[in-house]
Structure formats: structure tokens, C-alpha cells
Amino acid sequence: MKIMFDIYIYMKSGLRKAPPKLKKIVSNKMLCDLPDIDKILGNRQMLKDYLNEGWEAITKNYKSGQVSSPGKERSLNKKNHFDTLEPAEKTLALEFLGSIRKYTVQSYFDCAKAAVKTKTGNLNEYFAAGSTNITSDYDVAITGPDANEIMWLMFKKFVKKFKSSLPHSFDSNLYSSPLYIHTAENGTKIDKLRLPGPLFPRVNYGSRNFTLVPYNKVHVNEELAWAGIKLLPIFETHIKGKHAKLQGILSNSRQLKTELDLECQTAEGKYPELQEFINDGVYDEETKHIIKNYFLQYTSQKVCQDFVYKSHSLKGKQNFFYHSNKANYFSSEAYYTSSAVNSIVVENQLGHKLDFGTRSFDVKRKIYLTAAIENLGDMVNHMTHETGSKLKKTIVKYSKYLYRIYFCLGKAGDTKDAEKADKIKKDIIPFRKTYNTQVMDKLNSWKTIDFDSKTDTLKSYLDKIIKKVLKNIEDKLNKKYNLLKRPATTGQIITQKKKLPVRIGAGRRRKTLKKKKLKRKRNRRKRK
């Protein structure tokens, strides 16, 4: 495998002479020939074969070097084409497919954008956030007045052409919520955009973007209820009778989940367009499920798009976060709440600092606790369904969620949690690229994420993390803090239980004044 990789790098480099370490094998025919493109990606049928295998199955195969366990949608058959390639050829194939995936998204976006009839001048765009690693997903957020229509049209065109979905074939998910633009790339201001108000707590970031941030208790409680849906699987084992605040939140979460499950079950009978779409092709059950969810994402987000860009009134509940979160719920592998998107995508990944204005400290704190709850739920979900991977690699793989949890807990008012997040980012996150657990053993990096490599199993470790994080969240939900006005170096909200001086730094100034007074007394004595 190592030789194949070296040869692959050599061939890509364009060097006329082989590197010294390859001199002994320079006579090998592989060094004299170009990569066998026909073997790797020779025709349209081969591309279709890759699409049918699915991105998740292919990348798991690539990472493991063997046929993987079932992926998110389908398993990889030993007889499928990707499994026949050499390691270097697999790398090249993934690079090809990554470029094709980006081209496909761009092409389908341009096509859908042109097809949408609009009076706004097609002031729509998209962006992809996250890792650029060749094995990573490629999630796309579409923004603008027609974002939702474009998203749905892109999805439909791909499914009808390839009889498969973008999430399966390319691990690409399309979103049109909850991030928005107020100004197009060409500098054009978007007309009819709803102004900020009690029903529309808009916060701008960057030069052209805005998001919705909870402003009051009603908003933030709605967010907490949606985030709590992700903790329902561990309610009986870890929350019931142990954490009163969380138990109250999850009672609302359960009601929401019941409503959403019912809507999903009755969707085909309720929406003739959906039924016609599903009956129009021969799809497996997983693809039908994805089609249904994308359609419900589309119909839910339409309420939000019309409210934001067309000044229509909200239908049903007069809480924008209910409608926005409903659209997110039906999205593929998405955060449900604006709070989680704002905390992780906008602030952490994109690096924008959101101005919370006059929002109370309690609201600010619960925004970040909402995000922490969601990430804990995602971590539990992924790790409990993990199969086939070695324990240490699994721990490293999902350490990103632990980092995000402590990042949010730190922002909610705890310097120790913020410091722990920084340490995880420094000591653990870089190893998600290499999975070099041997180096981590030598450095004793596992201590940073509370993993005992000698005694912990996946179940015992996850149980330990769940208990620790839930207690942390419950404590923060119960505590009442006073907010310091001085900024923290790590960006988190600094809190303290004791009453603060009226003016920040007054204590320090009093000490200085006392010293000056004593100095004046000494000088007077000397003069006498």
C-alpha cells in the first residue's frame, strides 16, 4: 500500500526523475504508465455504478481498506467496482468523484436557478461549510428569496435522472434553512425583506447574511424543546427522575415528536404531489424515505421563505422558530435548531461573532445550552449505531461532537468548559485526519477526552460522557448567574455567583487609591 501511494504521488508530481526511495522500483511498469483512467472512471456506466454504491459505503471502504459495515443508506457489495481498485487508485477515484460531485451540485443549482420564475432577478446563491477532506460529506446551504424552490427542484431533477438521491450517491445534503441573505453577491439589496421585530429576531453577520436568534423566553423554550428530541432515546436511562429541568424540557419534546411522526406517516395521503413523485419511479424503501423527508422539508420551509421574503403571515403557531425547526427536522442529518446552527456553523466554523444585542443573559445562556444538547444527542446517535470500527478510532472519529459540546458549554458561562474545548481542539481533533492512535497512546491524549484505553468499552465510555455532560447542563439550567461585562479571552460568557461591584474593576481601583493615599502620608511625614 505504501509503495502504491508513493507511486501515485510521484505520478501526480510531474517529476522527470523518480525520488530516491523509488529508484529501486523505477523499472516497474507502473512508473512508466499514466494511471489507468479507464479502469478507475472509464465510462458513464461506471459512474452510475459508483452512485449506486453510495458515497458513505465507498469512503468507509477507502478508510478501512476492506469491505465496510453498512453505511447510512446501503451496504457495499464485495462485487462492486470500487472494491477492485488498488489503494492509490481508490484515492484517485475519490478525488475524481469529489470533483464530479461539486460540478454536479453547481450544474444542478444553475439549472434550477434558471428554471425558477422570479421577480427578484435570481438573487440566489449557495455555500458549502465543513471539511475539505476527500472522504467528507459535501453539504450545501442555498440562500436567497427562491432558495427553497431551488433546493426542491435540484433534488427532484437528480432523483428522477439517477433513481437515487444526492444524500446517498454523493453524501450531499441540501438545505434552505435557517441561514439567509439580505444582499446579493452583486451588491443588490433584496426587496420586501421583513424588518427585525418581535416575531422576527433577525441578527446580521458578515456583510450580506443574517440568521434568527431567540430573543425571549418563548423563543428559547421552543428551541430547547426541539433540541430535546435528540435526547429522547436516553430519557428513560439517563434523565427520568434524575434531572428535573431536562425532564421538563423533554416532556415538550415528546409532544413535538408525536406530532412530527404523525405528519410523516400521513404525508403521502395528504400531499398528492408527493404521492405522484414516489409512484413515478422504481425506488427502494430508503430512497422513498429520503424523498418524503425532503418534500416535508420543502413544505415546512416554504412557510418561512414566504414570511421572510414575501411578508406573508405565519400559518398556525406564531413562533418562527417552530416553523424553521420543523423544516430542519425533516432535513438530512441536520441540526434542528437555529441555536445549534448559529453556535457551530456561524460562530465556530465560519468564524462570525453574533451580536446578541439586549437579549438577557438567561436567553444567551440557553442558546448555547440548546446547541450543547443537540450535539450530545448527535454524538449518542452516531456512536450507538457505530459498527465494525475499532474502539479508539471510533472515539477519535466522534470527538468532534465532544469538542462542540464543551465549546457551547464554555460559551454558556464556564471558563473550565471553554478551556477543555480548547484542549480537545489542540490534542484530539488533529488526529481525526490520520487516526494515528499509536501516537495518541504515547502522548496520553486520551486523558483529554476522559477515555481510559485500558478499561473503557464503547458503551461504558459513552455512558460516562452522557452522565457528565447531562449533569453539567442540568447545573447550568438551575444556576442563576450575574454577567460580567468585561470580555473573556476565549469568547465565552463569564459568570460568577457572588454579587459584583457596581463598576467592573472598581475593586482594583480602590486598591490603587489606597496605595496612593499611603504614599502621600509617607511623603508628608518625610517633609515634617
pLDDT digits (tens, 9 = 90+) for 412-431: 988 999 999 999 999 999 99
CA distances from 320 to 89, 177, 523 (A): 49, 12, 67
C-alpha–C-alpha distance, residues 451 and 434, integer Å: 19
pLDDT band at 62 (very low <50, low <70, confident <90, very high): confident
C-alpha–C-alpha distance, residues 200 and 277, integer Å: 34
Q: What's the confidence (pLDDT) of residue 521?
A: 72
Q: Are 432 and 440 in contact (CB under 8 A)?
A: no
Half-sphere exposure of 467 (CA within 13 A, CB side): 8
Provide the total of helices (H) and of strands (E) in the chain, helices listed first.
Answer: 21, 8
- Over residues 348-376, the mean pLDDT reads 95
What are the boundaries of each domain within the chain?
1-32, 35-93, 360-479
In tens, the pLDDT along 456-489 reads 999 999 999 999 999 999 999 998 654 433 334 3
Sorted by sequence, the CB contacts under 8 Å of residue 441 that are 6+ apart come out as 453
**Checking DSSP bridges between strand 495-496 and strand 209-212, what pairing results, if any?**
unpaired
pLDDT band at 379 (very low <50, low <70, confident <90, very high): very high
Beta pairing partners, 141: 127, 175
Backbone angles phi, psi at 192, to 5 degrees: 60, 15
In tens, the pLDDT along 259-270 reads 999 999 999 999
Q: Are 377 and 348 in contact (CB under 8 A)?
A: no
Q: What's the confidence (pLDDT) of residue 117?
A: 74
Comparing CA positions, the residue from 58, 66, 60, 55 lying closest to residue 1 is 66
C-alpha–C-alpha distance, residues 268 and 351, integer Å: 41
CA distances from 224 to 71, 231, 408 (A): 30, 11, 14
Query: How many angstroms from the chain centroid is the CA of residue 498?
Result: 36
In tens, the pLDDT along 130-182 reads 566 666 777 888 999 999 999 999 999 888 887 777 777 777 888 998 999 99
pLDDT at 394 over 90: yes
pLDDT band at 221 (very low <50, low <70, confident <90, very high): very high
- For 414, counting Cβ atoms within 10 Å of its Cβ (0-12 exposed, 13-18 middle, 19+ buried), the class is buried
Q: What's the confidence (pLDDT) of residue 10?
A: 40
- Comparing 61-70, 282-291, 306-315, 406-415, the range with the smallest average pLDDT is 61-70
Q: Work out the mean pLDDT of the chain and round it to a whole number.
A: 81
Comparing CA positions, the residue from 228, 214, 492, 244 lying closest to residue 376 is 228
pLDDT band at 256 (very low <50, low <70, confident <90, very high): very high
pLDDT at 36 over 60: no
pLDDT band at 104 (very low <50, low <70, confident <90, very high): confident
Half-sphere exposure of 96 (CA within 13 A, CB side): 20
Sorted by sequence, the CB contacts under 8 Å of residue 250 that are 6+ apart come out as 228, 231, 232, 235, 239
pLDDT at 94 over 70: yes
Q: What's the confidence (pLDDT) of residue 284?
A: 84
Q: What's the confidence (pLDDT) of residue 528?
A: 57
Q: What's the confidence (pLDDT) of residue 251?
A: 97
Three-state SS letters, 120-166: CCCCCEEEECCCCCCCCCCCEEEECCCHHHHHHHHHHHHHHHHCCCH
Q: What's the confidence (pLDDT) of residue 282?
A: 82
pLDDT at 67 over 70: no
CA distances from 446 to 397, 440, 450, 456 (A): 13, 7, 6, 11
Q: What's the confidence (pLDDT) of residue 491?
A: 43
Q: What's the confidence (pLDDT) of residue 351?
A: 93
pLDDT band at 46 (very low <50, low <70, confident <90, very high): low
Sorted by sequence, the CB contacts under 8 Å of residue 353 that are 6+ apart come out as 205, 347, 491
3-state secondary structure of 212: strand
Comparing CA positions, the residue from 409, 221, 200, 233 lying closest to residue 309 is 200
Q: What's the confidence (pLDDT) of residue 45?
A: 64
Sorted by sequence, the CB contacts under 8 Å of residue 526 that are 6+ apart come out as none
Q: What's the confidence (pLDDT) of residue 59?
A: 74
Q: Which helix (H) or strand (E) holds 239?
A: none
Q: Which helix (H) or strand (E) holds 495?
A: strand 495-496
- Over residues 315-334, the mean pLDDT reads 93
In tens, the pLDDT along 185-196 reads 889 999 889 988
- Comparing 129-143, 221-235, 438-452, the range with the smallest average pLDDT is 129-143
Q: Name the more confident of 94 and 362.
A: 362
Q: Are 373 and 214 in contact (CB under 8 A)?
A: no
Q: What's the confidence (pLDDT) of residue 332?
A: 85
Grid cell locating 336: 434542528
Share of the chain above pLDDT 90, in %: 53
In sequence order, what DSSP letters do the residues of 322-372 get, joined into one string?
HHHHHHHHTSTT--SSHHHIIIIIIIIIS-PPP--TT--HHHHHHHHHHHH
Q: Does residue 178 have a cis peptide bond before it, meaning omega lies within 30 degrees of 0? A: yes
Q: Which helix (H) or strand (E) holds 180?
A: strand 179-181
C-alpha–C-alpha distance, residues 491 and 411, integer Å: 7
Q: What's the confidence (pLDDT) of residue 146?
A: 93
Q: What's the confidence (pLDDT) of residue 490?
A: 40
Q: What's the confidence (pLDDT) of residue 275?
A: 92
Length of the chain: 528
Beta pairing partners, 126: 142
In tens, the pLDDT along 486-523 reads 334 344 444 444 333 444 445 555 567 767 777 777 77
Grid cell locating 20: 530516491
Q: What's the confidence (pLDDT) of residue 480?
A: 62
Grid cell locating 356: 446578541
C-alpha–C-alpha distance, residues 360 and 372, integer Å: 19
Share of the chain above pLDDT 70, in %: 77
